[in-house]
Structure 1
Amino acid sequence: MRSLFLIILFCISAVSCTSSRWMVTEQFAVDERTQPEIIDQKKVILVDKDPTPDDPVISFSLYTITEKEYPLRVKVERTVQKYRPKWGFVALGVTGAAFALLAANSSVILPSVTTSQKLMLNISGGLIGALSFLNMQPTGDPIYTGESELMRRSGVEVVQDSLRTLNASDIVADMLVTYKGEELFSQSDLEFRQTSLDVNLASLEPRLREIADEESVIDIKISYNGMSKEVQVPVDKFLAPFLNVSKPVVNLRNSPQAAFTNIVAEVGEGSLLEIIDSETEDWYRVRYQETEVYIEKSSGTVEWKAAIESASTLIFEFAEIPFGEIDVENSLPILKPRDTSDRALILTNAIDNRHGIRQYIERDHKLFNHYMRTALQMGSDQISEIVEDGSNGLADFSNELQGVDQTSSLIVYITGFATIKEIDGREEIVMIYLDEDEIQHETRLTDLFTGLHRAEPEALFLFVDLEYIESSRGVVNERIRNGGNSILNRTANELLRELPNSVILFSNRPGQSSGIYTGMIDGNKRHHIFNYFWAEALKQRNTKMSDLIRHLENNVDYTSRRIHDRPQEIQAFGNFTLDIAGR
């Protein structure tokens, strides 16, 4: 038993130990103790600083590139590792040792043991117990002592070392800048200023402003002493896109959708707005007075400018003008005494129509309503407005015309979007409304005329202001534009045959646009040209239809050509001797 005690005491003292050894840590280590061999040395021009829209300067510097060859060797480091026994083997070994010692020194296992057997069992038990503790495994990470050695050579490595030329002021270079193979700029004998050559790419803006896009790239070639450096620089790295507004008035909105409720501001033709993102297929997100707003892509053309100039870009903003401050909105004359049998009706599909937004159309409606109430002395119960919303048709206005008889004057104002469609073999004017579900609702203009003549008023004054658009379901082409007057004539005759004591006035021909009255000289009248001069004629007491039509003919087309450089010819049909004041 004394032997067993000694063996266990020895094993406990040897439970753990440490040892050190050399480990290979790097197969190909650079031997920096050896002087490298210089195999090549040359001077090159490198880009030191890339341009940005806020700082459109690209910098080139002259560098000396040296190629050095270093020998590679196997690197070894000394480590210290801690070990502990494998306790599974220890348990198995101690069990075996105890069994051998118990058999040698007692009669529990073997009843009789000779002296030689006893000696062999004691030796075996001691060896088994000792070996179970000597079978160890490493524990933890090896501890590096910091000692290292470079052993045998394992290869070579070529290292490039670049050093900027500290004094390059006596060096001159040639530069060539091209875009799609076309020369934009070239200059010879450019001098390096101390250590670099700086080129302000914003100077290329006049050449790139209208021809570049977000994928455009310019090529820059710098030549010096037989060497050259060619780099490609995307245009959007040094110029920023701006939208140059080409329409007379454009709405800025707080969301990318056309609605009357999300207008933030109005800007005019010539305004420059920095484009932040192309939000959708139809909208840009732009910067306006430190905020981000949305504008329709069709509002203008994209130009590329240096962002550093954005602070000085022009924005023609129209201040909000309350109704009543435009000249035709105030100081109205009273043209006739009140007649309770008179009626006025607005029919429109221009509100929330996905085909587009007609600028200032609601103000036009308000102006019409104002003249009916003030100049023609109608009460609020005599004026009605029907708005197409997809659930009710424009032709359902019989309730609004109750009270109209053969002593009444009926004044109707039709506005909105329309197209020309071929129906039953002939072309007709069809008012179209596209709802939020992209479902198109259509109303023939002749159906509206049918409902009007059924009221049988004494006199009918009909003013039609439509924006004709091309659609997959309609046709507005050159043939329609040239023959638009015949379509209007045929449509008007549908009503005049039933109600001869009528006058029908169209604001424009099919294919022409009904423009708004705004310009750099005239200012923003905030009405359509037709509506403005219609009101001006009444304000000047041109109540007889021949006089009113003459006033419109003298002003509408002239103003449209002067402001928008396009025709807008009014078309009138019917009895021009009628007087809207009932005289």
Structure 2
Amino acid sequence: MKLFTHIVFIAVLGYGFMGCTSARWTVKDQHAIDESDPEIINQDRFLMQVGKVQPSESALTLNLMSRTKYRYNQRVLARRNIQKYKLRPGFIAAGLSGAALAFIAANSTAISKNRSQTRMWTLNAVGSVMVAAGFLNMKPVGEPRATGEERLLKKSGTIVRTDTVTVEQSLETDAYVTIQYRDSTVRNEEIRSIVDGQLQIPLSELLNNQLITGSQPGRVDITVQFQDSLYSYAFPVSDILEPYAKVTTRITSLRNSADKTTSNNIVADLVEGSQVKIASTENKEWYRVLYGISEHYISRQDAEIVWRSSDFNQQDQVVTVPRLPFGEVDVETNIPVLRAPQENAMALIITNKNYSGQYKERRYAHRDARLMKTYLQTALGYKPQNIFDLREIADTDTLHKVLSTMGSVANDSTELTVYISGYGEVNGADKNSQLTFLGVNGEKGNKQEVIELNSLFKTLSNLTKAQTVILSDVDFSQSLTNNISVIKTQRILESSIQNLDNDDNWAVLFGSQLNQESQVYISQSGSGKKHRILPYFFAKALQNRTTDLSEIYQYLERNVSYTARKLHDRPQDPLLLGNTKLDLAEN
């Protein structure tokens, strides 16, 4: 009994303090990769594009890469875990109870009076085992805790993996580069070394020399042959180059707003060949361009799109001409007074400048109108109220109203001078052809109305029986082919005035033949007289005090023709019909 008491005491004490931990190895991965000794299966090098091709980074950059295939052994991966255990009270109580019965039976006669030495030791052993079983049957506490120890065990298979890395060293090797733009080969070159692991192809530098134009520049194709592999790339030209507007007319206005009905928004005049970067092409009539740090506008009719690299030096390609106010050109000053004021002299000035569509702006047309008006007033004595100045005629109603007003005040002795500037068309190509003067487009973009010049000339001749001089700087060239003969064009011009009264008091001076352009007095460098050639030399003749119409015509024949060929390498030959002996300063 004393032994049982000791055991119970030890049990109670052990329950309060006893606990334990155990360590065991468990399988973490049946097919873990053993990287200690891989087998190299294959190794090769290739090129891979890095970065995005764009105008600011227009070089195609190819990195040299190394690709290696390895075969690895797979093994069972085991890891070591530690588990903490805690005594179970129920098992301890059961073990102690069973042990108590065994000890009582072994060491007393309370259960059995038949005691033998063998029975006593057996029951005591059973009681001890039951006590031990109660304490050893412990409960795990929490999850097993990994010790960090792992080991690879037996082989379970194999696996192949590919490792790709960048090669940053230079390599002596052959690479063949071909660059194709549309039907032409831009570059076909053998490259013998790759420096620092990179192959760079300067696309913008190569395409700059192609002088690419147009709103749809297409794409460029690049092929690179390297170590038995062919790499193909295709990029839109717009990803490589930037659009610029290149002036194609002798001069165009750079404006701060998309409005050509006024000259107050003109910032500068750009000469032919000037190039400015395009910011937007959304407007159908204008290019929005960058000039300096600001956005401006130039007419689409006066420029074409060219494609340039982002490092293109725009400043070297922009040539501006000074904007001279009226009165600073030689012909606009020192105007002589050739006769006294004329009470019975009347003039009609018609100038259309702001055309659209296929017809470009008639540069300096309004300045020419002011020049003619100034000379009529100052040199020839016309009263301001007797000069009818019509600009930007879009329909015939305006003209008919003015002609009606003129008819109400004119009489048979009224002197009449007419100046017309704009675009015209020839309907037909024989002696019965009709010449028409084109109105500018209406506000709603309606179809251009036309004014029949034959009828206009007839109406003007009916206003008075006195001297009538018509100066026509109308450009018909876009409606006729260049191969029409001079004789044929002259016959058409003659037919336009055949309905005029058969007297000697009228003359019509055409500024050019029908198939010839009416040119601007401006050189390729942008210098000029700020006028069209015909009105400039007509005013120059008056400035030189030449008033006889035949002498003026001879002066124009010499100077207009020569200047047009010198500045534009194109002919412009005036033609005088009617009475060539009229004098503009005759009272």
Shorter chain as denominator, the TM-score bin is: 0.7 to 0.9
- The alpha carbon displacement at 1:67 in A equals 4.4
Paired residue for 1:12?
none
Structure 1 425/504 Cα, relative in aligned 2: closer, same or farther at 3 Å? Answer: closer
Asked if structure 2 preserves the Cα contact closer than 8 Å seen for 1:347 and 1:413, the reply is: yes
Matched, 1:495 2:500: yes
Paired residue for 1:175?
177
Paired residue for 2:475?
467
- The alpha carbon displacement at 1:64 in A equals 0.5
Structure 1 298/161 Cα, relative in aligned 2: closer, same or farther at 3 Å? Answer: farther
Matched, 1:252 2:258: no
After the TM superposition, which of the residue ranges 500-509 and 542-551 deviates more from structure 2?
500-509
Asked if structure 2 preserves the Cα contact closer than 8 Å seen for 1:507 and 1:570, the reply is: yes
Asked if structure 2 preserves the Cα contact closer than 8 Å seen for 1:394 and 1:448, the reply is: no
Asked if structure 2 preserves the Cα contact closer than 8 Å seen for 1:460 and 1:501, the reply is: yes
Structure 1 161/235 Cα, relative in aligned 2: closer, same or farther at 3 Å? Answer: farther
1:147-158 to 2 correspondence within 5 Å?
Answer: none
Paired residue for 1:46?
48
Matched, 1:358 2:348: no
Paired residue for 1:203?
205
- The alpha carbon displacement at 1:32 in A equals 6.4
- The alpha carbon displacement at 1:231 in A equals 2.6
Paired residue for 1:443?
451
Asked if structure 2 preserves the Cα contact closer than 8 Å seen for 1:496 and 1:574, the reply is: no
Matched, 1:270 2:277: no
Structure with the greater alpha carbon radius of gyration: 2
1:349-498 to 2 correspondence within 5 Å?
Answer: 349-350=352-353, 356-387=360-391, 388-390=393-395, 392-396=397-401, 397-421=403-427, 426-433=432-439, 434-437=441-444, 438-468=446-476, 476-477=480-481, 483-497=488-502
Residue deviations 1:132-189, cap 9 Å, x none? xxxxxxxxxxxxx999xxxxxxx99976532111212444534333334643223334
Q: Partner amino acid for 2:395?
A: G
Paired residue for 1:319?
322
- The alpha carbon displacement at 1:552 in A equals 0.7
Paired residue for 2:186?
184
CA distance in 2, matches of 1:395, 1:289: 47
Asked if structure 2 preserves the Cα contact closer than 8 Å seen for 1:340 and 1:378, the reply is: yes
Q: 2:168 aligns with which of 155, 159, 166?
A: 166
Residue deviations 1:347-392, cap 9 Å, x none? 3444577755311111011001111111112221222223424372
CA distance in 2, matches of 1:423, 1:569: 19
Aligned residue for 1:448, secondary structure, equals helix
Structure 1 441/158 Cα, relative in aligned 2: closer, same or farther at 3 Å? Answer: farther
Structure 1 574/40 Cα, relative in aligned 2: closer, same or farther at 3 Å? Answer: same
Structure 1 30/441 Cα, relative in aligned 2: closer, same or farther at 3 Å? Answer: farther
Asked if structure 2 preserves the Cα contact closer than 8 Å seen for 1:394 and 1:443, the reply is: no
Paired residue for 1:290?
293
After the TM superposition, which of the residue ranges 368-377 and 164-173 deviates more from structure 2?
164-173
Paired residue for 2:519?
515
Structure 1 157/525 Cα, relative in aligned 2: closer, same or farther at 3 Å? Answer: farther
Q: Partner amino acid for 1:217?
A: R
- Unpaired stretches in structure 2, ≥5 consecutive residues: 1-28, 76-143, 147-156
Paired residue for 1:555?
559
Q: Partner amino acid for 2:376?
A: M
Asked if structure 2 preserves the Cα contact closer than 8 Å seen for 1:459 and 1:502, the reply is: yes
Structure 1 34/162 Cα, relative in aligned 2: closer, same or farther at 3 Å? Answer: closer
Paired residue for 2:234?
232
Asked if structure 2 preserves the Cα contact closer than 8 Å seen for 1:416 and 1:466, the reply is: yes
Paired residue for 1:125?
none
- The alpha carbon displacement at 1:575 in A equals 1.2
After the TM superposition, which of the residue ranges 505-514 and 399-408 deviates more from structure 2?
399-408
Q: 2:65 aligns with which of 63, 66, 87?
A: 63
Matched, 1:309 2:316: no
- The alpha carbon displacement at 1:215 in A equals 4.6
After the TM superposition, which of the residue ranges 414-423 and 44-53 deviates more from structure 2?
414-423
CA distance in 1, matches of 2:213, 2:342: 63
After the TM superposition, which of the residue ranges 63-72 and 216-225 deviates more from structure 2?
63-72
CA distance in 1, matches of 2:195, 2:225: 16
CA distance in 2, matches of 1:320, 1:459: 37
- The alpha carbon displacement at 1:465 in A equals 1.3
Aligned residue for 1:549, secondary structure, equals helix
- Unpaired stretches in structure 1, ≥5 consecutive residues: 1-27, 74-144, 148-154
CA distance in 2, matches of 1:365, 1:251: 19
- The alpha carbon displacement at 1:222 in A equals 3.3
Q: So what's the TM-score if we normalise by structure 2? A: 0.72
Aligned residue for 2:47, secondary structure, equals strand
Matched, 1:536 2:540: yes
Q: 2:569 aligns with which of 553, 559, 565?
A: 565
- The alpha carbon displacement at 1:457 in A equals 4.3
After the TM superposition, which of the residue ranges 399-408 and 337-346 deviates more from structure 2?
399-408
Paired residue for 2:140?
none
CA distance in 2, matches of 1:420, 1:469: 9
1:117-128 to 2 correspondence within 5 Å?
Answer: none
CA distance in 2, matches of 1:225, 1:172: 8
Paired residue for 1:116?
none
CA distance in 1, matches of 2:354, 2:244: 30
Paired residue for 1:576?
580
- The alpha carbon displacement at 1:66 in A equals 3.0
- The alpha carbon displacement at 1:567 in A equals 1.7
Aligned residue for 1:573, secondary structure, equals strand
Residue deviations 1:87-141, cap 9 Å, x none? xxxxxxxxxxxxxxxxxxxxxxxxxxxxxxxxxxxxxxxxxxxxxxxxxxxxxxx
Q: Partner amino acid for 2:586?
A: G
Q: Partner amino acid for 1:487?
A: I
Residue deviations 1:454-497, cap 9 Å, x none? 22242111101112265xxxx53467675221111111232252
- The alpha carbon displacement at 1:288 in A equals 2.0
After the TM superposition, which of the residue ranges 476-485 and 194-203 deviates more from structure 2?
476-485
Asked if structure 1 preserves the Cα contact closer than 8 Å seen for 2:352 and 2:362, the reply is: no
Aligned positions, number: 478
Matched, 1:335 2:343: no
